[in-house]
Amino acid sequence: MYDYIIIGSGFGGSVSALRLSEKGYKVLVIEKGYWKKPEDFPKTNWNLKKWMWLPSLGFKGIFKLTIFRHLSVVSGVGVGGGSLVYANTLPKPKSHFFNSGSWNTVDDWEVNLAPFYEIAYKMLGANINPKLFQADEIVKEIAADEGKLSQFGPAKVAIYFGQADETVNDPYFNGQGPDRKGCNFCGQCMTGCPHNAKNTLDKNYLYLAQKNGVEILAGHQVVNVIPQLGGTYIVEYKKTNALFGKKKRVGTKGIVFAGGVLGTIPLLLKLKNTTMPDISDRVGMDVRSNNESLIFVTTPDKNVEMTKGIAIGSIYNTSEHSHLEPVRYGTGSGFWRLLVLPMISDPKVFKRFIKLILSYLKNPLKWLRISWIRNYSKHTAVLLYMEDLEGKLRFKRGFFGLKTSVQDGNPPSAYIPRAHDLAQKYARKINGVCQTFMLESLAGIPSTAHILGGAVIGKDKNSGVIDKNQKLFGYENIYVCDGSAVSANPGVNPALTITAMTEYAMSKIPNKK
C-alpha cells in the first residue's frame, strides 16, 4: 500500500514525487517510457529506433507524434517526460493567461502562482542564454525592421552553461544533485542532450525524489483505477505495449494523474465509463494548443549555419498576444525533410492544392536544390510562432479509442497570417523557402508541441474537472498535475507553468501525520 501513486514522470509527476516525499509520504511513480542516459540518445533524428516512440515496432525513443482529426501533436516519452525532448525554454505567460479560461473567476492566479514560478525557475536551473547565433540574429534583424528591437531578447532556459564540456560538481542543490557538464551549443537539445548540460527532470526533481525513497517503475503503464471502500484505490498496470501481458495490482491512498494530455485524458475518459463514473462530464473538453505554427525555412546558401546554439536561443514578442522563437536541431538531424511541403497561405482546400502545385512550377530549380541539400538541419531554421488567443477542441472516446471533435469556438488553425508573414520575411533574408508539415499543406491540420487542457480547473464539476488545488471533483485524494490542468492558453512554452501549478497544488497537501 502506497500513500500516493503518480502516473507519469513529466513536469507535473516529477514535482509531485519530490514534494510528496518531502512531506513523508510513500510514493511510487509509474512511467510508460524508459530510463535514458546521455549515451542512449540518438546522434541524429534519423536514428528512428532511438528517437521515436513506436513501441509496437520496437522504437523506444523519447519523441512521439500523434495525429488526430483536427490536430497533430508532438510530445515526449521517458523517465523525465517532455523534459527529455523539449527545447528547454521557460517563459512566463502574460497577464491575459491568468485572467481567461475556465479558472478565471476561481482565484487570483497571477498573485497565487507568482512565488511558485520563482521556485520553478530555481528547481529547473533557469539561466539566460549567453550566446546568440545566426538563426537568432536573423530574428533580431526582423524585430529591428519592424521597429520592435526592444521586444527581442535571449531566452531563459533550463541549461547549465558553465564552461563548455567541463564537468563540475552539482551547481544547483548544494552538492545533493548529480555532476553536470557545461553546454557546448551543439543544438542537439531536442534529440536528447548527450553532454549532460540540459536540466532534464531526472537531474533535479526526480533525482532528489529518489534520494527520498521514491520508487520509479519505468516501462509500465496504468490501465485501470478501482475505488475501494474506505477511500483507497487499486491501480492496475502492465508492461508498456504488452497486448497479452498479465496485469499487476497495487494499492494506494492517493493518485496523481501526470501522464500529459495524451496519457491522462484517455485514461480519465475510460475510467468515467467504467470504474469512476462521478468524474465530471467536462473531462476531455477545453483542449487547446498555443495556437501555434511550426514553419521550416530552408536555404541552399552554403554560408548559412543554423545548427549552432541551443534549441531555442531567443524570443521576439511580436505583439501583446504573440511571439516568435527560432528553433534548431543539431547537425545531421534532417528527418523532418521527409514530412514537409511548401507553406501554403490559404485556408481553402482547393485553392491550397492549386497553390501547392504552382509553388513547385514557379521555382523548380530552387525546390530541386532544396531537395538535394545534404545537411538539412544546417540549412534550416524552424520558426515557432505562438499566440494566446483561444482555439479549443474536445477529446472523446470512439470505437477505436481516442478521437477529436470541435467543441466550441474556433479550433486551432493551420493558417495564421502573421506567422506566415514573419516566415516569408525570414526566408527573404536567407534566400530560402518556407515549408510546413504536409498535413498542414494538404489537409489544413495544424501542429502543436504544446497540447493542453481536458481536465481544467473550475468552480465545480459543472465548469471544470478539478478544483483550484487540482483535486479531482467527485473523488478523494486524486489530483491532476500536468498539461491537462492548464486552464487557459498561455501563449508560451508551458513547461514552467505546469511546474509552478504543480508546486502550488502540492503545497496544499499537508505533511503525513
Q: Do 205 and 123 meet the contact criterion of CB atoms below 8 Å apart?
A: yes
Q: Does residue 406 surpass a pLDDT of 60?
A: no
Split at pLDDT 50, 70, 90, the class of 497 is very high
Instruction: Give residue 405's pLDDT.
Output: 65
pLDDT tens-digit profile of 70-81? 889 999 999 999
Split at pLDDT 50, 70, 90, the class of 407 is low
DSSP string for residues in 435-500: EEEHHHHHH---EES--B-SS-B-SSTTT-SB-TT-BBTTSTTEEE-SGGG--S--SS--HHHHHH
Q: Do 483 and 451 meet the contact criterion of CB atoms below 8 Å apart?
A: yes
Residues β-bridged to residue 186: 309
Q: Quote the percentage of the chain above a pLDDT of 70.
A: 98
Instruction: Give residue 312's pLDDT.
Output: 98
CA–CA dist 189, 87 (Å, integer): 6
pLDDT tens-digit profile of 186-241? 999 999 999 999 999 999 999 999 999 999 999 999 999 999 999 999 999 999 98
Split at pLDDT 50, 70, 90, the class of 324 is very high
Q: Does residue 513 surpass a pLDDT of 90?
A: no
Q: Do 483 and 450 meet the contact criterion of CB atoms below 8 Å apart?
A: yes
Instruction: Give residue 377's pLDDT.
Output: 96
Q: Do 74 and 87 meet the contact criterion of CB atoms below 8 Å apart?
A: no
Q: Does residue 166 surpass a pLDDT of 90?
A: yes
| Catalytic residue set | 450
What are the C-alpha distances in Å from 483 to residues 202, 263, 456? 19, 10, 9
Instruction: Give residue 373's pLDDT.
Output: 92
Split at pLDDT 50, 70, 90, the class of 345 is confident
CA–CA dist 312, 157 (Å, integer): 8
Q: Does residue 349 surpass a pLDDT of 60?
A: yes
Instruction: Give residue 401's pLDDT.
Output: 62
Cell of 195: 553532454
pLDDT tens-digit profile of 292-302? 999 999 999 99
pLDDT tens-digit profile of 422-452? 999 999 999 999 999 999 888 888 999 999 9
Q: What is the largest CA-CA distance in the chain?
A: 73
Q: Does residue 385 surpass a pLDDT of 60?
A: yes
Instruction: Give residue 78's pLDDT.
Output: 97
Residue of higher predicted confidence among 62 and 349: 62
Instruction: Give residue 400's pLDDT.
Output: 62
CA–CA dist 315, 325 (Å, integer): 5
Q: List the domains of the chain with CATH numbers.
A: 2-507 (3.50.50.60)
Burial per residue of 270-292, b for 16 or more beta-carbon CB atoms within 10 angstroms, e otherwise: bbbeeebeebbebbbbbbbbbbb
